[in-house]
Amino acid sequence: KSPEFNASYSMGRLHIEHMGGERVFSCANCDCPLTNRQQLISTRFTGATGRAFLFNRVVNLDTSELQDRVMLTGRHMVRDVSCRKCKTKLGWVYEFATEESQQYKEGKIILERALINESEGFPDPVKD
């Protein structure tokens, strides 16, 4: 219980967002909500644990430093992403693609299928 300012403490209550949606994807380790089916762009990706999904927008992620990676599809600048709550590594986000055909991925997030859960959500009842 040190009064000195120490950034390594787990401080405060994390602000956890929730994107809603009828099919919700969450972190398999801690059930922190991440994204939903409406944000899913493609299922045909591969990560370290096997199948991976490409999503448009995902919340509650921490990103790592920028990394230069050569993948099957070419050279990319990516950041690893991890669950904000439990710090488990979940996938990566594309920041820059060297090849023009791959630029559609920029800003999008890859989450590995084995590390996330899909569960039932509900539609937003508000119509306006």
Partner 1 sequence: MENGSGCLNGSGAADSAEKAQQQQQCPAVQLSERNCEAVRVIGQYLRELGLARSAEALVLEAGCPLESGAAAQFRSSVLLGDWDGAEASLASLRRALWRESSWSEIAFRLAEQRYLELLESGAHIAALCVLRGKLTPLQFSPDRLHRLSGLIMCSGPEELRQLSGWSGAAGGTRQALLDSVEQFFPPSVMLPPKRLSVLLDQAVRAQVSRCRHHNTSLSPDQLTLLADHSCQAAASVPSVCSQVLDAHQDEVHVCQFSPNGRFLATGGRDCVAIVWLVEAAANPPGAPRVRHHLTLRIGEERGGVAWLAWSPDSRLLLACAAEEATEVIVWEAETGDCIKKLKHRDEDSLTTAAWLPDSNHFVVGGNRGHFYLCSVDVGFEKAWDFIRVVALATRREDDGGTAVLAADTFARIRRYRFDTMQDETLFREDGPVMSMSISQDETLLAVCVASAGVHLWDLRLRVCRRRLHGLTHGAYLLHASIGGPNQDFVASGSHDARVCVWHRGCQAGDGAQQHLLPDKLSGHGGLVSCVSWNPRHHGMLASASDDCTVRIWLPASLAAAALAASADGTGPGGAGFSSNGCCSSTVSKHQPPPLL
Chain-centre distance for alpha carbon 17: 13
User: Are 23 and 121 contacting, i.e. CB atoms less than 8 angstroms apart?
Assistant: yes
| Residue 86 CB, nearest approach to partner 1 (Å) | 12
Contacts with partner 1 in 38-97 (CB under 8 A)?
84
* Residues belonging to the chain: 128
Size of the site for partner 1 (CB under 8 A): 25
| CB-nearer residue toward partner 1: 62 or 95 | 62
Q: Which listed residue (65, 70, 100, 123) binds partner 1 by CB under 8 A?
A: 123
| CB-nearer residue toward partner 1: 33 or 52 | 33
Q: Is 19 in the site for partner 1 (CB under 8 A)?
A: yes
Phi first, then psi: what are they for 28, rounded to 5°?
A: -70, -25
d(CA 7, CA 30): 23
Q: Which listed residue (20, 23, 86, 107) binds partner 1 by CB under 8 A?
A: 20
Q: Which residues contact 22 (CB under 8 A, 6 or more apart)?
A: 36, 37, 120, 121, 122, 123
Residues at the site binding partner 1, with contacts judged by CB under 8 A? 1-6, 9, 11-20, 33, 84, 122-126, 128
